[in-house]
Chain A
């Protein structure tokens, strides 16, 4: 049983969170708190495993609470709940640096978005199940000649947790994750994923080289264009270019842009995966990967909150494999190593 404490100054939000969680048999809401001071008191008394923490609260806000929580033992895992502003994006990132374990945007349009509770529940489970990885500081990695592309949207973040945590530390490929997310929040996402993946995870920067064993998260607000570079040794590799071209399918980054441009660079050595997501982004991209001779996968429907993006790829008849979430990491690793063998 996962013991959860809900911390939020709004009764309305507390009620919603409680309702979202109460249907899960393995989660027990042990209490609620209305501000940081109250939260610290209840953490000591109730010993929750997980707390959901609001940032803006009277008397003691979320960041101050996180600082105060540092000394507690045992320390509960913390999910920061944030709303959609650039200021909050910044606060969220600071919260993660202060020891929060994950973050989530406050539930939107609860009446009309079905399955909204699944994301929160999955996040809480992941927090308890996935251990934090301590990585040795690794030497500069070499330019990658194989790329794994992941496209993801609504419902995707908890799936990324599972997928990236399971990728082996010696994966001989670069990984580029394009997750639809509001501007400012992808830094926090990278920070979160970096803690649970055995591979280093960072947000893309304009001009970043795709390197073996490094996971890049497309920075929100730009399209991640993968551009071809020939190194001094004459080998092909890829480089990230941040494009401000207009949003595609109303999103930026668009999965189609990343997939299509990366497949131009890596050709048959491109592996694409579509996770949960609304809309049709990713369909054209998957087709481009297929046409370039790459390997295309989509996650199985039962593991996805929304299947729009995967369906968009499936409808183009360009998907090689439909894989359950639990097997995705293994399937990717196997495909990558097969490419390695062919390469030699």
Chain B
């Protein structure tokens, strides 16, 4: 009856709203706007988030929101001031929540790795207030049954029984029995035998070890005809080690307990210099997007101005323009820098995924992450998350073998899964590599034919690389059993599509018995690129400079027909040659060639003229035009013309 996916979606949507509400109101709070409303709003949002995450069973998130709610409860009642320290901490918490929501959205369960220390810090704030206030916190829950038994506090009770009592011995015996219900009696003076025989003068002392608390002991040791003379903590007998001296202060925090003691001072210091400069501000990503759009417009218009300047040849104007141009470039770089985020953000939740999948499958996996600091445009980060998750799952699920199988084939029991990111010129390259069983091309050959993805003839002719790349075809899955972990209906084809929609590429290499390696190549940003402008059949076209190898002159005799297509022999290399007539119409034969490469493979296209290199803004095709194979977007150079940008990826 529980539509978990449906709940998840609803949960993420509403949580994002509440998260945003908290962030906005935190900022409002800092800027000193309507304080009370902001505090109420934050409190309510934190509360709602807590309730929802509890319902979903996301404990880590619940604890974090709970702690935030506690802090705001104090702020609301005026017991805690809003300091910039506190705001910083709360903003960090909202970051953590956002990270958790991303995890949830991707189908995961948030872990408490980041949140635990935050919860501790938040507690430090609330505990400081309760220490300042009259009532100390409830005595902390003991650290655990293990150490507890040895470290129980001991008390000495002096008791006297009403001299008029007719049953001194019975009263005393009963008292001792009752005390045994709440603790362990270590000794009595006089001895227990004497007391139970009534051979005492009405008063006696009991040394008892008990965790029941003073109140409980007091209650037990008072009653009709009995009065408690004194109750005091006493050092336990020699057997017991160090007494838990700071019971009231350590407040059950097993973590770095120095922190709560340091915090108050730091905080007071902050209070005294309230007018401290604000070093960081937060900006909504949508506002950044709008700024980015404006910068793109600037780049377009700069191109336009350059054209005008060229036309009229005014030297002064040229100089001014080059200054403007420099500023625009700097601005653009800055904007792109702001939008960059370290990949760490999406990498950080993967170890958990690996662990879970490995546990589920009964595999042993060592997971290495390298290059988490590599930065990528934030807009790509979102899209990258799912494919990565899928590839990582795949790696553990299909790639790495069970320990026994590994041992049998002479490998260490523990498999190795490596996720590495690095920057190569402008591109970001992400490798996902396992040392597992590898992909068997024969298996793929068989399966691809079975599934009708390729004809038997084509399958026989296919090379090993081509076969392995069939994995990316829709409807292909090599998993023999559909498991919970992979096989969620998302195949590698979806991974490939997603990566391509980010203008990236994916390829796979595999060696049987040695492992599999996926390589993702992602452009640094999707918005502004260097292109080579060319004319084909009198029409302009832009080619991303990262795909251009060289421009060559082809002698007519070097062009050969092979079947239906043409190929050109260029310095001992045979390259397929395309005339792009589908796209630009029948053209005069020209002998200027642009050699393109993608993923290590090359081809060339024939162009009329090469106009030069230019930095342009690539705009996506509008949804009306839909996706158009071969074209990754359009660009508007300075003269206002609309020029298609070639998608080399689809041509090779």
Contact = CB atoms under 8 A, between A and B. Distances in A.
Interface of A: 9-13, 15-16, 19, 23, 56-58, 83-85, 87, 106-113, 183, 206-207, 221, 223, 225, 227-232, 239, 241-247, 261, 264
B51 A10 contact: yes
Given A87-B73, A230-B224, A246-B145, A225 B54 contact: no
B220 A227 contact: yes
B97 to A, nearest CB: 15
Given A225-B181, A225-B212, A111 B51 contact: no
A108 B53 CA distance: 8
B178 A232 contact: no
10 contacts: A13-B55, A19-B3, A57-B44, A83-B51, A108-B54, A109-B57, A243-B212, A243-B213, A244-B211, A246-B141
A16 B55 contact: yes
A19 B1 contact: yes
Contact of A225 (B73, B145, B216): B216
Given A56-B47, A109-B57, A110-B57, A245 B210 contact: yes
A229 B52 contact: no
Contact of B44 (A56, A231, A244): A56
Contacts of B393: none
Given A13-B52, A225-B212, A244-B211, A232 B224 contact: yes
A110 B212 contact: no
B200 interface: no
B47 A83 contact: yes
Contacts of B2: 19, 110-111
B4 interface: yes
Nearest to B152: A245
Given A109-B56, A111-B4, A245-B210, 4 more contacts: A231-B224, A239-B219, A243-B213, A247-B141
B170 interface: yes
A66 to B, nearest CB: 18
A255 to B, nearest CB: 15
A246 B69 contact: no
A23 B2 CA distance: 11
A83 B224 contact: no
B223 A11 contact: no
A339 to B, nearest CB: 22
A207 B210 CA distance: 18
Interface string B379-416: 00000000000000000000000000000000000000
B7 A16 contact: yes
A207 B47 CA distance: 36
Contacts of A223: 212
Nearest to B224: A232
Contacts of A232: 224
Contacts of A206: 215-216, 219
Interface in B5-37: 7, 10-11, 14-15
Contacts of A112: 57
B44 A227 contact: no
Contact of A58 (B44, B145, B167, B224): B44
A221 B223 CA distance: 24
Nearest to B47: A56
Contact of B181 (A12, A111, A261): A261
Given A227-B178, A228-B178, A230-B224, A13 B219 contact: no
A12 B10 contact: yes
B608 interface: no
Contacts of B43: 56
B55 A12 contact: yes
A184 to B, nearest CB: 10
A59 to B, nearest CB: 11
Nearest to B66: A85
Nearest to A207: B219
Interface string B299-342: 00000000000000000000000000000000000000000000
A13 B52 CA distance: 7
Contact of A244 (B54, B56, B212, B224): B212
Contacts of B178: 227-228, 241
A106 B148 CA distance: 33
Nearest to A245: B211
A247 B139 CA distance: 12
A312 B78 CA distance: 48
Nearest to B109: A111
B547 to A, nearest CB: 46
Contacts of B3: 19
B121 interface: no
A83 B62 CA distance: 11
B213 A242 contact: yes
Contacts of B141: 246-247
A74 to B, nearest CB: 30
B10 A15 contact: yes
A112 B187 CA distance: 50
B14 to A, nearest CB: 5
